[in-house]
Amino acid sequence: MSKIEEVKAQIRQGNLEEAMAIAISEAMKIEIMTANINGDDSTACHSLIDLLENEIEHQLGDKSLENIHFEELENAHNHILQNVQSLQQMFVILKQNYQELS
């Protein structure tokens, strides 16, 4: 079962706190892929950041692409923060609606 399916199942069962915990744990991960495809020659940089596990993985391509990729990585924490804030707002709304329906 995918994480999104796990979250949906927990919501359907009324376990909003568990659903939020699963969703937030996934929101603390970000994957960034930067690619340059030029005919038969292609290069790519790939990074995976997992804040909960304190892991960072990089696979780097050529130097110019690497510079662009690291610029994106510098903004990764903003993306994660925005994702977590959106999830928190979504779960506040879900909890309010769930309580009204109960």
**Whole-number pLDDT of residue 40:** 64
Contact 29, 51 (CB under 8 A): yes
Q: 50-98: per-residue pLDDT in tens? A: 988 889 898 887 787 788 888 888 888 888 888 889 988 988 888 888 7
Cα–Cα distances (Å) from 51 to 30, 33, 46, 69, 77, in that order, read 9, 18, 17, 19, 10
Q: How far apart are CA 54 and CA 69, in angstroms?
A: 20
Q: Is the pTM of this model over 0.75?
A: no
